[in-house]
Structure 1
Amino acid sequence: MERLLATSRYTFAVPLSDGYGLFHASTGSVFRLHGRDAKKLAALLSGNHSLVHESVLGAELTTQLQRAGFLVAPDADELTAVRERYWQARGNAPVVLLVTTTMDCNLGCYYCYESRSDEALSVDDADTLVDIAKERLGRRGKRSLHIDWYGGEPLMNLEFMERASQKLQDFCAAAGIAYHASVVSNGTRWPQDVGGLVTRHRIREVQISFDGLKENHDRRRRYRPLHRGEQDLSSFDQAVALVDQLVRHTRVDLRFNADHGNAGDLAGFIELARARGWFDAPYRCVLMVAKLSAYSDRSAFLRPHELSAEEFEELQEVAERLLPKEAQDDQDIVGGFPHPKTSVCGALAPDSAVVGADGLEYRCGLQVGETHRAVGSFRRDLPLVAAASPGTDGAWWDSFDPTRLPTCSRCSFLPVCWGGCPKRHLDGDGTGVAGEGQYWRTQLPRQVAAGFGESVPQGFAFTEADQFRDDSREADDENEAWHA
């Protein structure tokens, strides 16, 4: 009996110099179509739900497309497969403790939404941190621990960091647990022996943020009153000098925070990094362009400064054009092509935690200091400060499932996006959530074309109709026979 198959809701087609490139968002499969019927076949496979007889495409091509996921059984439940992979990723997520050593910071960035204070973890909290690690690792018998030192400026509480790091490493060594760490820093409070600190704390990655070239960076990242020492250079010069050293000892992730005022600095900053040898150093140096955005009510004042989607896309094109390939952020690229997600945001990892400098537990690092968002307390003598319904946020994080959301469940970008930043959903940030879809409409075709070694045609982007397919319509069974 002749097979009857259906087109997948997760297939995307990108025009290339010769034919079309197919990408399947759920399987990660790619396929190139050539010939006079390539356009018609690409439209069929990437359009609304259609039924296809095997004889229309021929047995060999039909089998190839089915194996890759572009054709599925008529009754296939593709959404359930994505849901199962999502929950498997949550359960398999590694144990990560984001440790806010202090809420204090020596710089006063105009866009900072955190509540600067003298709250800090004490050396006596180091044993508590070890207890937290033991409990989280023991939940599912996991054998790897990652510590992300965070702030404020985490190195302004170096005494705690030294004590806690050593105790955590001693515990992991005795228990046979793999240990590694990372740091998010402004780059102005590191000791002279940078290599020694990296080695001592087993730091495998450091994120340093820049707000443009020197003039823009120093104007935006001013020293707060009484926080600048006599020997301090400008915040830009100190961060640059630190990266000069870090790239000889560990991976460095450069974060270029972009808004309307500094977007023009990107090309010059990339040239500066190249001239200083950051991209040719012993350890990898990656640059990521980040759009300054309002991630919470506390940062709503950033809305007027945000780049539009089109402006941000132009910046990303500059980065792609000028950065060497090894310096581009490719965490979602496998074998040159975009790939369906297999990991989750740390806030969704059931065994991870954000340790606040106030002794409270949070699920998201962007919530640190918002005590009404806390989901627990790490200090026995410190009661949980919560909203009228204590624990509500914790239950929300535990149950968050983009595959069951009215919009995300219908979205064909779902397997590569998983709803984007979950905090936007928690906060009811409809603008931010919609921005995720707009991002993928422009970026996914560029990524797919790049995987084929080409550039997407100027102005090409996926549409809302590509993003939200009509799964109810069935094509006429009497398709005219044709061959790709």
Structure 2
Amino acid sequence: MSIDQAVNVGLPVNIGRAPGSGPQAPAPEPLPSGARLLKSERNWWFLGPGGVARLRDRHVTPEGALLPDAERRLHESGMFAPGRISSYALTVLTSTHCNLGCGYCFQNTAQDQAGGSRPPRIGRSRLTSDTITQILGFTERQMAAAGLEKLRILLFGGEPLLNPRGCLELLERAADIAPTSAWMISNATLLTPHLARRLADLGLTSVQVTFDGDRADHDRIRVGRADGGATFDRIVGNIAGACEATALQWTLRVNVSQETFHGVDALIDRLAGALDPARCTLYFARIGDVGVGYANSLLHTGELPAAFGRWQRRALDLGFTVSRPGARKTCVTCGHTDGRYGAVVSADGTLASCWETAGKPDWEVGTVADGYQPAERTRDRWIACQDLYRYDEDARTLARFRDSVDTALLDYLHETGRL
């Protein structure tokens, strides 16, 4: 649907709010509300917080800026309107330990100098009933201050299922303070059908699981911490078993590096044969270094943009969901220095600005018992998503990569009638 059709019927062209080819023509001035304007071979794409619209050359200046009439009509159709925050976003690390030994993990403190599967990690702690009491009291106060009545919990780690009792107790008790839903980031090696069912009964709706390339690559990279053992088949089997026992949805993150790049095409087909694509969202992420000595020589240039586009098209054709590109969004958790709409809590009750610093010494910004420290004390510790990641390319190159991939995806969705 074009902007003309959208405005004529009084509805925004909305293909989903995302976090989230052809030459990119940047607008001379940044668009408001994090909106983006991308140029494809046949049209332009406007990505705003209210949705996505397809524009024509007549809506855009030769320099790549919205013409006033087009911008006005996009405003009138709600395309610039930010979504309303309806739930408090609470991330809780139920365990800071992990049973895997991935060398790139942002919770490592260095590489394994012996070349094995045990890189040193952040200190070990485990969520207890007393800390849950403090977390829920803190959460009630934060929700009241923000005027929010719903709670969305992320079960996080380390590996959260190293403390299944903590996960279950947190969800069960959270329901006493607010209507609660939850999601989880897990390696899924410990997820049994019985545990999945218990978590789903307490409000868990989705799980994010990572794959490091196809089976052979994954089993060389994503290994057991204790024995360096393979994990691919166990993870896939556990997801399949949980699918039979629950209605959980799955986000499958595919890590892309020089070690996994050549196996991603086969991985997509393998996952489609082993799992129900209709229950899964697939997304691809190039791994960066957070200062722990992990090296990824794969750059965001060359063949990588085209490869991302190919993987996304193949995933869609096999029935997977691929997240729609969207406007630049402020993270509800780390995007507000006062923790207004969300919080990240480590297993010992300390507060971090973002999950990338949770459990790390000298990065605390408060505790659930005492609340957030004054801004002047936390200014240098308050980081947002991806702030710690180091890349060999500058920000402009990273932006061009994202714009190229997003443009190609929108073109394909439009061409195949999926918008």
TM range (shorter): 0.7 to 0.9
Give the partner amino acid of 1:268: A
Counterpart-to-counterpart distance in 2, 1:120 and 1:359: 10
Deviations 1:103-148, CA, capped at 9 Å, x for gaps: 1111111212312443112222121122122112111221110110
Residues 192 and 241, structure 2, Cα contact 8 Å, conserved in 1? no
> Which of the numbers 311, 314, 318 marks the counterpart of 1:319?
311
Task: Give the secondary-structure state (helix, strand or coil) at the position aligned to 2:356.
Answer: helix
Aligned residue in 2 for 1:24: 46
Task: Give the secondary-structure state (helix, strand or coil) at the position aligned to 2:402.
Answer: helix
1:366 aligns with 2:356: yes
Residues 251 and 283, structure 2, Cα contact 8 Å, conserved in 1? yes
> Which of the numbers 80, 88, 92 marks the counterpart of 1:95?
88
Aligned residue in 2 for 1:244: 240
Shift in alpha-carbon separation, 1:46–1:361, aligned structure 2, 3 A: farther
Shift in alpha-carbon separation, 1:13–1:266, aligned structure 2, 3 A: closer
1:189 aligns with 2:211: no
Aligned residue in 1 for 2:210: 209
1:377 aligns with 2:367: yes
How much has 1:198 moved relative to structure 2? 3.2
Aligned residue in 2 for 1:161: 167
Question: Aligned runs of 1:94-243 on 2, under 5 Å?
Answer: 94-114=87-107, 115-169=121-175, 171-172=176-177, 177-225=178-226, 234-243=230-239
Aligned residue in 2 for 1:309: 301
Deviations 1:35-87, CA, capped at 9 Å, x for gaps: xxx6xx57x624167999xxxxxxxxxx6x465359xxxxxxxxxx97xx6xx
How much has 1:317 moved relative to structure 2? 2.0
Shift in alpha-carbon separation, 1:66–1:117, aligned structure 2, 3 A: closer
Task: Give the secondary-structure state (helix, strand or coil) at the position aligned to 2:163.
Answer: helix
Aligned residue in 2 for 1:472: none
How much has 1:150 moved relative to structure 2? 0.5
Residues 103 and 118, structure 1, Cα contact 8 Å, conserved in 2? yes
Higher-Rg structure is 1
The structure that is helix-richer by fraction is 1
Counterpart-to-counterpart distance in 2, 1:66 and 1:241: 50
Counterpart-to-counterpart distance in 1, 2:28 and 2:47: 10
Give the partner amino acid of 1:246: A
Shift in alpha-carbon separation, 1:290–1:119, aligned structure 2, 3 A: same
User: How many residues align structurally?
Assistant: 363
> Which of the numbers 8, 11, 15 marks the counterpart of 2:41?
15
Give the partner amino acid of 1:23: W
How much has 1:342 moved relative to structure 2? 6.2
How much has 1:100 moved relative to structure 2? 0.5
Residues 93 and 155, structure 2, Cα contact 8 Å, conserved in 1? yes
Deviations 1:311-337, CA, capped at 9 Å, x for gaps: 43233123123113552322xx3xxxx
Unaligned runs of 5+ in 2: 1-26, 32-36, 108-120
Shift in alpha-carbon separation, 1:113–1:305, aligned structure 2, 3 A: farther
Aligned residue in 1 for 2:6: none
Aligned residue in 2 for 1:265: 263
Task: Give the secondary-structure state (helix, strand or coil) at the position aligned to 1:109.
Answer: coil
Aligned residue in 1 for 2:286: 291
How much has 1:192 moved relative to structure 2? 4.5
Shift in alpha-carbon separation, 1:215–1:425, aligned structure 2, 3 A: closer
Residues 288 and 389, structure 2, Cα contact 8 Å, conserved in 1? no
Shift in alpha-carbon separation, 1:206–1:95, aligned structure 2, 3 A: same
Counterpart-to-counterpart distance in 2, 1:426 and 1:141: 31
- Identical residues among aligned pairs (%): 18
CA RMSD of aligned residues (A): 3.7
Shift in alpha-carbon separation, 1:365–1:306, aligned structure 2, 3 A: farther
TM-score, normalised via structure 1 length: 0.65
Counterpart-to-counterpart distance in 2, 1:49 and 1:314: 26
How much has 1:252 moved relative to structure 2? 0.5
Deviations 1:270-317, CA, capped at 9 Å, x for gaps: 11111124214xxx21111111112x33x3x23444443334323312
Counterpart-to-counterpart distance in 1, 2:71 and 2:100: 56
Residues 93 and 343, structure 1, Cα contact 8 Å, conserved in 2? no
Give the partner amino acid of 2:40: V
Counterpart-to-counterpart distance in 2, 1:253 and 1:430: 28
Task: Give the secondary-structure state (helix, strand or coil) at the position aligned to 2:400.
Answer: helix
Give the partner amino acid of 1:130: L
Residues 8 and 46, structure 1, Cα contact 8 Å, conserved in 2? no
Residues 101 and 356, structure 1, Cα contact 8 Å, conserved in 2? yes
Shift in alpha-carbon separation, 1:448–1:272, aligned structure 2, 3 A: closer
How much has 1:453 moved relative to structure 2? 1.3
Counterpart-to-counterpart distance in 2, 1:218 and 1:427: 25
1:351 aligns with 2:341: yes
Give the partner amino acid of 2:266: G
Counterpart-to-counterpart distance in 1, 2:146 and 2:212: 41
Counterpart-to-counterpart distance in 2, 1:219 and 1:211: 9
Task: Give the secondary-structure state (helix, strand or coil) at the position aligned to 1:361.
Answer: strand
How much has 1:244 moved relative to structure 2? 0.6
Moved more, 249-258 or 123-132: 123-132
Deviations 1:395-448, CA, capped at 9 Å, x for gaps: x56xxxxxxxxxxxxxxxxxxxxxxxx445588989563344222341243244
Counterpart-to-counterpart distance in 2, 1:100 and 1:143: 22
How much has 1:255 moved relative to structure 2? 0.9
Counterpart-to-counterpart distance in 2, 1:258 and 1:269: 12
How much has 1:154 moved relative to structure 2? 0.5
How much has 1:32 moved relative to structure 2? 5.4
Counterpart-to-counterpart distance in 2, 1:266 and 1:361: 36
Task: Give the secondary-structure state (helix, strand or coil) at the position aligned to 1:310.
Answer: coil
Task: Give the secondary-structure state (helix, strand or coil) at the position aligned to 1:367.
Answer: coil
Shift in alpha-carbon separation, 1:383–1:183, aligned structure 2, 3 A: closer
Counterpart-to-counterpart distance in 2, 1:383 and 1:441: 36
Counterpart-to-counterpart distance in 2, 1:12 and 1:315: 19
Task: Give the secondary-structure state (helix, strand or coil) at the position aligned to 2:322.
Answer: coil
Unaligned runs of 5+ in 1: 1-6, 53-62, 71-80, 398-421, 456-484
TM-score, normalised via structure 2 length: 0.74
Give the partner amino acid of 2:415: G
